Amino acid sequence: MSNAGTVVILAAGAGTRFLSRKPKVLQPLCGRPMLGWILDQARALSPERIVLVLGHGADEVRAAVEVDCAAMGATAAERASLRFVLQAERKGTGHAVLLALPELAPSDPVVVLYGDMPLLRTESLSALCAARSTADAAILTAVVSKPRGFGRILRHAGEFAGVVEEQDASAEQKRITEVNLGVYAFARADLERCLPRLTNHNTQGEYYLTDVPAMVLAAGGRVRALELEDEREAIGVNTIEHLSEARRELQWRILAAHMARGVYIEDPATTFIDHGVTIAAGARILPCTVIRGGVTIGAECEVGPFTHLRAGTVLAAGAEVGNFTEAKNAHIGEHTKAKHLSYLGDVTIGHHANIGAGTIVANYDGKQKHRTLIGDRAFVGSGSVLIAPCQVGAGALTGGGAVVTRNSNVPPGEAWVGVPARPMKKKEQSS
C-alpha cells in the first residue's frame, strides 16, 4: 500500500538571492540538481502521483526531471505518474497547491514538499504520513536556533493551534523557536474545501498554504504537529550559504553510507564524493580526494591522496590512482597503477599496467575528444605524452619523456622513445 496518494513538490521559485539565472531548485548539490534530492524524498513514499508545480525556468526544470528519471532508472509507470503544473504568476504556496488540485490522485494523503528542502529523511516523512492517518492533517515542525524566516508554531495545551508567518508575527511570537517547515500531509477533501477559500489579507499579499491547518481546526478537525529530532533536516536553501550548509550534511550522509558498506575513508573531512558513485567494499579512499558522480571503483582499489576522478571513470579491482592524478572517462584495469601527477582522459588501460609519473593522455585536439588504448602490462614511462587517438600495445614500453603522436600504434612488446616517439633501436653486438 502506498504511503501517499500524491506528493506535491513546490518548485516554482526563482531563487533571486543566488544571483544566478539558473532556477533555484536546479542549483548543484553533491553532484546533482537540488531537486533530485526532493524527488528521492517523494519516491520513497511510493505515491500514486508526483505533481511538480513549476514557475521560473519551467522548461529547464522539466528537462532536468527527465534527466534525473533516466539516471535513477525510472520505469515507464514511474515516469507516467509525474505531473507538471505551471504557476505562471506566483501568488503564494496556497495558490500553487490550488493549481495542482486537478492533478491529485483520488487517494489520501496529499503530501506537500518544497523544492529547496533537500535534507528531509524518509523516516520523517513516513512518520508524517502515519500521523495523518490518525488525524485530519499533519505538519512537520522543528525547534531551531535560527528561525530565519520560518512561520512560528502556535500551541494550546501542547496541541497545535495554528501558524503565524514571521512577517505577520508579533514581537512575542517571533521569540517562538518551534517553526513550521511547510511540509504537510492533508486529506484531499480538505484541500478541495479550504484552498478556494484562502485570502491574501497579509503583509505579503499572498495565499498561504499555512492557513489551511487552521481552517481544518476551525471545522472541528485535528491537526498533529510532529517535531523533528534533528533540526538539520529543516535546512531550507535560499542562498549560496544555505546551499553549502546542505552540502555538508548530505556529503556526510554519502560518506557514512559508503563506510557502512565497507569502504575505508581515511579522512572524511577532506573527502568529497558525489551522489551516484559506486565503491566496492575494501576500497581505500585517502585524504583530499574528489570523486564526481558516475564513477565506479572496484574492490581493494586505492584512490588518493589528492586525486580527482570524473564521470565515466571505472577502476577495476586492485587499481591504484594516486597523488595529483585526474581521470575522466577512463577505464583502468585490474592492479594497474597511476600513482603520480597524471592526466588520464578518455583512455582504456588494461590490467597490471604502470602509468609513470607525469603522464598525460592528451585527449582533446581543440575540436573533438579522442580515445587512447593502453594494453595489459604496458609500461608508460615518466613524463610521456600520448596524443589521442593512439595505442600502446600489451607489454609495450614508452621511454621517459616520449611523445606518442596522433594515430601512432606502439606494437605489443616494443619500446618507443623520443620526440616524436619511435621504436628503440637495438644496440649492435660487438664482434
When pLDDT is cut at 50, 70 and 90, the band that residue 427 belongs to is low
CA 314 to chain centre: 20
Q: Each residue of 387-423: pLDDT tens digit? A: 999 999 999 999 999 999 999 999 999 999 999 999 9
- Are 179 and 141 in contact by the 8 Å Cβ rule? The answer is yes
Domains belonging to the chain, first-starting first, are 6-234 (3.90.550.10), 240-423 (2.160.10.10)
**What is Dmax (Cα atoms) for the chain?**
110
Q: For residue 235, give the C-alpha cell.
A: 535546512
- What's the whole-model pTM score? 0.92
Is residue 242 annotated as part of the catalytic site, yes or no? no
Peptide bond into 305 cis (omega under 30): yes
Q: Each residue of 200-248: pLDDT tens digit? A: 988 788 898 989 999 999 999 999 999 999 989 988 898 999 999 999 9
Q: Each residue of 350-380: pLDDT tens digit? A: 999 999 999 999 999 999 999 999 999 999 9
pLDDT, mean of residues 281-300: 98
Of the candidates 242, 335, 340, 370, the residue annotated as catalytic is 340
Residue 252 clears pLDDT 90, i.e. is over it: yes
pLDDT, mean of residues 63-72: 93
